Chain A
Amino acid sequence: MKVNNVILQFTTKIVFFIIFFFAVHIFFAGHYTPGGGFVGGLVTASAIVLLLVAFDLKTVRSLLPINYIYMVAIGLLIALGTAAIAMFLDEPFFTHFFDYFYLPLFGKTSLHTAALFDFGVYLVVVGVTMTIIQTIGEDE
């Protein structure tokens, strides 16, 4: 039976971007205010779950052709690589570096390698959550 839920799908098309940009904000605000990679990853995963509920598995697969298991692996590699940079510079494992840079649009900005580690955490959280939900969702 073909169903017609126009209101849910139209609302999803707008609300998905609001939730996703809010997740990006939480991710980048994690250094000075509450937030960080874990919460940002979970909110991103909930935005994709909203797409899954409003549409279906096949549509979302063609919309976001991502293999979430590779996403977990890439996230772990980024986290390990960020921790291992210090070892090649004669510093202990997991030493982080930061400095102030003058970027063209943002002005004086402090860039920290902890953000790269947080990005690895973000990828792992999104990948694990979406793998669990898609694996449970597709068995019948």
Chain B
Amino acid sequence: MKEMILMLALALFMVAIFLNLYRVIVGPSMPDRAIALDTIGVNLISAIAIVSIVLTTKAFLEAILILGILAFIGTIAFSKYIERGTIIERNRNN
């Protein structure tokens, strides 16, 4: 029973990731794609958590935290590029 519920949750996360992939491919503007990629990252974090429950291991907890950090930094870099046209500025006061 527990296994079946976990597998159902994994399948639903797969459906959500594919729906986000549709938005990444056909999204009319760049911010749509950035937000869809961020949502894919969050769904992957949840999927890794469920996989670590299925496999009854604690080895993936670091991977979850690192994926969260990387999704955060990647989304910030994307949004800064969309807004300003540059990611790393030389001097922000001029």
How many contacts A-B (CB < 8 Å)? Answer: 53
Contact B59 A34 (CB under 8 A): yes
- Is residue B92 within 8 Å, beta carbon to beta carbon, of the partner chain? yes
Residues on the A chain within 8 Å of B87, using CB: 53, 137
Contact A57 B76 (CB under 8 A): no
Contact B73 A140 (CB under 8 A): no
Main secondary structure of the interface of B (DSSP, over half): helix
Size range of the chain A interface in the assembly: 20 to 34
Residues on the A chain within 8 Å of B92, using CB: 3, 55-56, 59
Q: Bound complex: CA of A29 vs CA of B62, how far in Å?
A: 11
Residues on the B chain within 8 Å of A34, using CB: 59, 62-63
Q: Bound complex: CA of A29 vs CA of B73, how far in Å?
A: 24
- Is residue B91 within 8 Å, beta carbon to beta carbon, of the partner chain? yes
Contact A35 B62 (CB under 8 A): yes
- Is residue A15 within 8 Å, beta carbon to beta carbon, of the partner chain? yes
Name the contact of B69 in the complex, choosing from A33, A43, A53, A58 (C-beta under 8 A).
A43
Residues on the A chain within 8 Å of B90, using CB: 56-58, 138, 140
Given contacts A2-B93, A43-B69, A140-B90, contact A53 B76 (CB under 8 A): yes
Contact B59 A33 (CB under 8 A): yes
Which of A44-52, A89-97, A105-113, A119-127 is near enough to bind chain B? A44-52
- Is residue A39 within 8 Å, beta carbon to beta carbon, of the partner chain? yes
Given contacts A50-B76, A53-B73, contact A22 B88 (CB under 8 A): no
Name the contact of A53 in the complex, choosing from B62, B65, B66, B88 (C-beta under 8 A).
B88
Closest-CB distance, B80 to chain A (whole angstroms) = 6
Q: Supply 14 further A-B pairs (C-beta < 8 A) apart from A3-B84, A59-B92, A133-B88.
A: A34-B59, A34-B62, A43-B66, A46-B69, A46-B73, A53-B80, A55-B92, A56-B88, A56-B89, A56-B91, A56-B92, A57-B88, A58-B91, A140-B90
A sample of 5 inter-chain contacts (CB < 8 A) reads A34-B62, A43-B66, A53-B76, A53-B80, A56-B88
In the A-B complex, the 5 residue pairs with the smallest Cβ-Cβ separation, listed nearest first, are A137-B88, A56-B89, A56-B92, A58-B91, A52-B88
Binding site for B on A (CB under 8 A): 2-3, 8, 15, 19, 22, 26, 29, 33-35, 39, 43, 46, 49-50, 52-59, 133, 137-138, 140
